[in-house]
Amino acid sequence: MTNERDDVLHSWCVQADWNAPTIVAGEGAHFIADNGQRYLDLSSLAECMNLGHQHPAVVAAIQRQAEQLCFVTAAWGAEPRAALARGLLERSGFDGGRVYFTLGGADANEHAVKFARQARGLPRGRVIARERSYHGASYATMALSGDSRTQAQVDPDAFGVLRVPPPYSYRCPFGTTAPADCGDAAARAVAEAIDAHGAADVAAVLMEPNAGTNGIVAPPNYWPQLRAETRQRGVYLIADEVMSGFGRCGEWFAWQRHGEAGRPDLMTLAKGLTGAHVPLGAVVLSAEVAERLEHEMLYTGLTYCGHPLACAAGVAALAAYADGQLIERSRSLGRAMFERLRELAQRHTVIGDVRGGDGLFAVIELVRDRDSRALHVPWPGVSASLRGLVARALELGVSLAVRGNLIILAPPLVIAERDLNDAIDLIDRLLAEFDWS
């Protein structure tokens, strides 16, 4: 069997170090290598396989659509595209809004910014985003992201991007100790940035509501306050729900936890939209934003925008979340997972913080010293012990996601309770096995 090691240029790694097994099959929360080794997927790969691997209803929908019609451009209508747009507007309650389809998360964020700017009549209007965020790896989304890995490659100023400190309450950049104070200060920092530059020049604020690869989980007061501050100033709020959507945070979309007080003007989706069975992203626009674009030329497009195969997968995915009551399952299992992780924190002093738990998403933050919260190696480096822990877990058939000093748990929403508990037991044992001094 051919191996891609020498021929494919791989993402986010040193090419010479890439040496992963070939995966040939998947089933629920597991994926399987060509040597037969089964892996329990505790991160839904890139936090995207919310429905698990090879969800039968999604696979069948793709097969049916492939037999009927693989592709037609957005210049023509396509049934699955219409059905998915309607389904998303209904699930999000964006009555009278519209949906623009993209190929993934980065281009969804780029388009959300385009639409917000056009709707505000500010084609180059400023956009406020935050430090320690991730919105994609295209040039504009690198400019939007506050990501230490890519910041040298792009000048945010050239893209009209302003950055503000994040609502990272464990290491609050505003020097607060209570999470609510950090949430409050971070939302006020956005308001101050808008005021400093003039609301007339700021088109939008783009933020991840409740989960992201940089491991920040905002305190509960942050999002509604951010919404109130942006609304007061007439600046659009874009929720990047690429990771936090589709049950990951215990709701269809994470902002819904706050009800109408959390409703953004636009939201971006990808990953769980098809459960990663086929690439697809989307921008959902509120009725107000859509209305402003209604009689203007839209100068943008993607050849594969609203690809019927992907949309058919999306329609089946929406049904699978609802039929399996997976959003509710994520909420209750997420709470249980979070409680177990907090118990682990009582036993292992290397755990500085555990956050998340609104759904099947939690972050374990490791520290060398609990009092000083010192890291083992500077962010975003990964300590030798944590690398060892991940490698050992993999040998034992559990795949974990790690960023810097963070273990990010985001299993498929279909994971068996017993598998999840066994995996947490394994993390417990491995934390005791490695040297964290």
Given the rule CB under 6 A, which residues bind ligand PLP? 46, 104-106, 109, 134-136, 208, 212-213, 240, 242-243, 270
**CB 166 to ligand PLP: min, Å:** 13
Helices within 324-416 (DSSP H only):
326-347, 384-395
Neighbour tally for 291: CB within 10 Å:
14
**CB 30 to ligand PLP: min, Å:** 22
**CB 129 to ligand PLP: min, Å:** 11
Q: Which is nearer to ligand PLP, 102 or 405 (CB)?
A: 102
**CB 92 to ligand PLP: min, Å:** 17
Q: Which is nearer to ligand PLP, 87 or 104 (CB)?
A: 104
Q: Which is nearer to ligand PLP, 246 or 436 (CB)?
A: 246
Q: Which is nearer to ligand PLP, 240 or 365 (CB)?
A: 240
Neighbour tally for 336: CB within 10 Å:
15
**CB 141 to ligand PLP: min, Å:** 7
**CB 227 to ligand PLP: min, Å:** 18
Q: Which is nearer to ligand PLP, 231 or 403 (CB)?
A: 403
Q: Which is nearer to ligand PLP, 102 or 221 (CB)?
A: 102
Q: Which is nearer to ligand PLP, 209 or 431 (CB)?
A: 209
**CB 37 to ligand PLP: min, Å:** 26
Q: Which is nearer to ligand PLP, 133 or 230 (CB)?
A: 133
**CB 199 to ligand PLP: min, Å:** 25
Which residues, other chains included, contact 279 with Cβ-Cβ below 8 Å and sequence gap of 6+?
103, 104, 270, 310
Cβ-proximal residue to ligand PLP, closest one: 105
Q: Which is nearer to ligand PLP, 145 or 230 (CB)?
A: 145
**CB 361 to ligand PLP: min, Å:** 11
